[in-house]
A and B are shown apart, each in its own frame.
Chain A
């Protein structure tokens, strides 16, 4: 079955950096677009970044543009999110998520990881 397991979360000071990873299994990782979606405590879902199945295209939300970078390694079935210049408002549970269809445009999140907490605080 499809499994998405996030790692790399924790507590970081404002202005610091953190790298999240997502280990994917149970499907052909290189055939699916992937996303990061976050949820601040007690708040709603916010799309963070998306990447095409082959890694040739990547996009991010205005709120993180220039600070966060999404990437993937199809040889290792791994999705990553490099987060720099972190702010307190970045404190959230971060979900790794898979697109619905093979070689799709990343239009629908189907599978979600369990999420990992990132806390930005001094």
Chain B
């Protein structure tokens, strides 16, 4: 149950695109199409932004997209806006009601 690997920080200017990677193993990211992404603002509970690798819940802007290749998943945020500044966490199912999270990535909108 090792944490998934994410970059500690990324940044971009308003209107630009940024990508956040999430690397796991064949026992989690690579083994299931159950990768999810969460946005967390300071002092708030996380919010689901992507599930099942690339699906968006109702209400999440289509500026948020995601994909997976092998043991690595990626979240892309296009048309960056100030309110996108937050911490982002990937999460993967690892079998038998078990989940594993990434260490988190701080997104700064310059």
Give the B-binding residues of A (Cβ under 8 A).
Answer: 33, 35, 37, 44-47, 50-52, 57-59, 61-63, 95, 100, 105-110, 112-115
Q: Is the CB of B3 within 8 A of A106?
A: no
Which residue in chain B gives the minimum CB-CB distance to A49? B97
Give bound CA distance, A17 to B104, whole Å: 29
Contact of B36 among A58, A59, A108 (CB under 8 A): A108
By a CB distance below 8 angstroms, the chain A residues around B36 are 108-109
How many residue-residue contacts, CB under 8 A, span A and B? 77
Q: Which of B31-88 contact A (CB under 8 A)?
A: 32, 34, 36, 38, 40, 45-48, 51-52, 57, 87
Pick from A44, A50, A113, A114: contact of B97, CB below 8 A: A50
In whole angstroms, what is the CA distance A61 to B97 when docked? 11
B89, A44: Cβ atoms closer than 8 Å = yes
A25 to chain B, nearest CB (A): 16
Interface residues, chain B, with chain A CB atoms under 8 Å away: 1, 3, 32, 34, 36, 38, 40, 45-48, 51-52, 57, 87, 89, 91, 93, 96-104
**In the complex the two chains form, is A62's CB within 8 Å of B51's CB?**
no
Bound CA–CA A106/B1 (angstroms): 16
- Residue pairs across A and B with Cβ atoms less than 8 A apart, 9 shown, are A37-B99, A44-B101, A46-B3, A63-B1, A95-B45, A107-B32, A108-B91, A109-B91, A110-B51
In the complex, which residues of chain B have a beta carbon less than 8 angstroms from the beta carbon of A95? 45-46
A67 to chain B, nearest CB (A): 15
Tell me the complex Cα distance, A58–B96, Å.
8
Which residues of chain B have C-beta atoms less than 8 A from A105's C-beta? 93, 97
Does B97 contact A58, Cβ atoms closer than 8 Å?
yes
In the complex the two chains form, is A50's CB within 8 Å of B98's CB? yes
A108 lies within 8 A of B52 (CB): yes
In the bound complex, do residue A50 and residue B99 qualify as a contact, i.e. CB atoms below 8 Å apart?
A: yes
> Could you say which of A47, A59, A108, A114 has the most chain B C-beta atoms within 10 Å of its C-beta?
A108
Min distance, Cβ A2 to any Cβ of chain B, angstroms: 12
